[in-house]
Structure 1
Amino acid sequence: MRSWKRTDKPIVLAHRGGADEYPENSVQAFEGMRAQGFNYIETDAQTTSDGVLILIHDPLLDRTTNGSGEISQVSWAEVSQLRDESGHAPMTVKAALDGFPDIDFNIDAKVDGTVEPMIELLRCSDYLDQVLVASFSEKRLRRIRTAVPGVATSLGTSGVARLVLASILPSFLSDLVMKAVPGPSDGAACVQMPMNFHGVRILSKKLIDIAHGHGLAVHIWTINEVKDMIEILDMGADGIITDRPSLAKELIENRDKQAQEP
């Protein structure tokens, strides 16, 4: 499968399957992305009361299905009878991986309850090369890295915070801070982060350069405006996580054409 490491050409990760183009995290969205030639989908995992991993962002069923209540309190048998905006039942993680073997999935482990089912799925299958596990929780990621050697993950919030700190410190202090940031030898393949945090710009070219020096690709979320896409690409970002993947793809292709013009 494709690599989550740095590539010659920036990649586009369809956020929730391209949430501005299709109903989020739906079969329809994934089919649409595949039909348009997209290779990467960012999605989210929650866990039912009986431990089934399903692809849905919120802890509640209310916003994206015709059901209601907490997912963690409902069995998969009950969830499978619900319908999302595309008219389909929410997908299990396993069904998505089996149904779309030509797509790589960036799966955000939203809650602690996803960890053990995710470990079991990745240990007992051929999905390892098809999945990158993301989470705000470094603790969750560390548990998964330890239990599943060879798994690819992003950095948790603490790793991103250290990277941001390293980017504003003198180089001799930056090097010390980066020693505490997971790298490829630890199972971390990339850093996924926003441009801004609570209105403060945290992304910089220096940060991207430091991440690259640490062996990490850099993917920025959730980028939906052309001006922001251009800015992060000019900085050297390796991936755009976006609700508008068709727009990002067109922009990258146009930049490539312009670069090749004499």
Structure 2
Amino acid sequence: MYARPAAATTAALLGVGALFLPAATAQAAAPQNAASLAQATTETDRPLVVAHRGASAYAPENTLAAIDKARDMGFRWVENDVQRTKDGELVIVHDDNLKRTTNVEEVFPDRAPWKVADFTSAEIAKLDAGSWFDAKYAGARVPTLKQYMNRVSHNHQKLVLEIKKPELYPGIELDTLRVLRQEGWLDKSHVKSKLVVQSFSADSVKAVHAMRPDIKIGFLGTPAVADLPKYAEFADQVNSSHTTISADYVKAIHALKGAHGKPLEIFTWTVNTAAAAQRVAGFGVDGIITNTPDVVRDAVGDDD
């Protein structure tokens, strides 16, 4: 976690009130694959199944191909990671460097250690973000947050958006909210049922909550049970690794009310096997974040 100077944070928050009034409802495009979306998990399903970085076991993570794959498999909820380029563009990538999921070392051999923050958005747009996963995805790109939100909207999907390593990108919370607003994702409809913003940084999600208290917030981690009430003051979810939780821990979360006065929730990650899915479903978790959403869906079944 990181802590920005209090005065600077206060000034930033006081200056954005008008900017983040709820926007007009965005007009959504018709889904390309109505048959598959007809099978999609609904708001009444428990646990919800969330495609981690898209359907990342089957397509290159955090690409448009990965969220399209999730759509084609019938999953409405996807998860992504947001970071910021040298010239201030928000892009969808998990690691703070570009080596693992792009060909950056070939395209820019003299730019080690290939940090996201050291490249412009135009430079990153040149990179192949698909071949590392499978040759059939050659030419896939690292999407900008704007491109990603456009595709999520087009697919009629919903989003768990993770602000990744915010300590590297001071002010990324405001930048993220600005893009969400521009893309029509801060209207009442989206905020109510289509968006969760999460981070491992309590300071980061507290900043989002202060600027837009209507947005559903998730804190990533497994705080001690005694500390959970402090997180419930600003969060609606405590989202923990599946290896760190128990039935008693889930019960302790559900015993509290979150920032919006509803029972505190838990989405657990990254659950990729049927056995693990059945285990955490037995604990009563509200959501399962997974690279293999089809495996999890088959293991826990649907409630509808």
TM-score range, shorter chain: 0.7 to 0.9
Q: Aligned to 2:242, which of 195, 201, 214?
A: 195
On the 8 A contact 1:106/1:134 being kept in 2, the answer is yes
Deviation at 1:116, TM superposition (A): 2.9
Q: CA RMSD in A?
A: 2.1
In 2, Cα distance between equivalents of 1:179 and 1:51: 35
Deviations 1:118-174 (A, max 9, x none): 1322344421324311111000111111112311110244xx31xxx22xxxxxxx5
Deviation at 1:91, TM superposition (A): 0.8
Aligned equivalent of 2:291? 243
In 2, Cα distance between equivalents of 1:208 and 1:75: 42
Aligned equivalent of 1:12? 49
Aligned equivalent of 1:32? 69
In 2, Cα distance between equivalents of 1:122 and 1:238: 25
On the 8 A contact 2:46/2:286 being kept in 1, the answer is yes
Aligned equivalent of 1:117? 175
On the 8 A contact 1:123/1:148 being kept in 2, the answer is no
In 1, Cα distance between equivalents of 2:303 and 2:184: 34
In 1, Cα distance between equivalents of 2:229 and 2:268: 22
Aligned residues: 230
**Unaligned runs of at least 5 residues, structure 2:** 1-27, 29-42, 106-113, 131-136, 257-262
Q: Aligned to 1:56, which of 60, 78, 93?
A: 93
In 1, Cα distance between equivalents of 2:122 and 2:286: 40
Deviation at 1:93, TM superposition (A): 1.4
In 1, Cα distance between equivalents of 2:220 and 2:289: 16
Give the strand-richer structure, 1 or 2. 1
On the 8 A contact 1:18/1:243 being kept in 2, the answer is yes
**Unaligned runs of at least 5 residues, structure 1:** 167-173, 197-201, 258-262
Q: Aligned to 1:108, which of 154, 157, 162?
A: 162
Deviation at 1:256, TM superposition (A): 5.5
Deviation at 1:8, TM superposition (A): 4.4
Deviations 1:49-78 (A, max 9, x none): 111111110111111111141110111111
Q: Confirm whether residue 233 of structure 1 aligns to residue 281 of structure 2.
A: yes
On the 8 A contact 1:12/1:242 being kept in 2, the answer is yes
On the 8 A contact 1:155/1:182 being kept in 2, the answer is no
Aligned equivalent of 2:249? 207
Structure 1-normalised TM-score?
A: 0.81
In 2, Cα distance between equivalents of 1:156 and 1:223: 15
Helix, strand or coil: the match of 1:120? helix
Helix, strand or coil: the match of 2:240? strand
In 1, Cα distance between equivalents of 2:288 and 2:82: 20
Helix, strand or coil: the match of 1:20? coil
Closer, same or farther: CA 147–123 of 1 in aligned 2, 3 Å: farther
Deviation at 1:213, TM superposition (A): 2.2
In 2, Cα distance between equivalents of 1:29 and 1:73: 25
Structure 2-normalised TM-score?
A: 0.70
In 2, Cα distance between equivalents of 1:153 and 1:181: 10
The 5 A counterparts of 1:98-177 are 98-101=150-153, 102-112=156-166, 113=169, 114-128=172-186, 129=190, 130-157=194-221, 160-161=222-223, 165-166=224-225, 174=226, 177=227
Helix, strand or coil: the match of 2:230? coil
Helix, strand or coil: the match of 2:150? helix
In 1, Cα distance between equivalents of 2:65 and 2:123: 21
Q: Confirm whether residue 179 of structure 1 aligns to residue 229 of structure 2.
A: yes
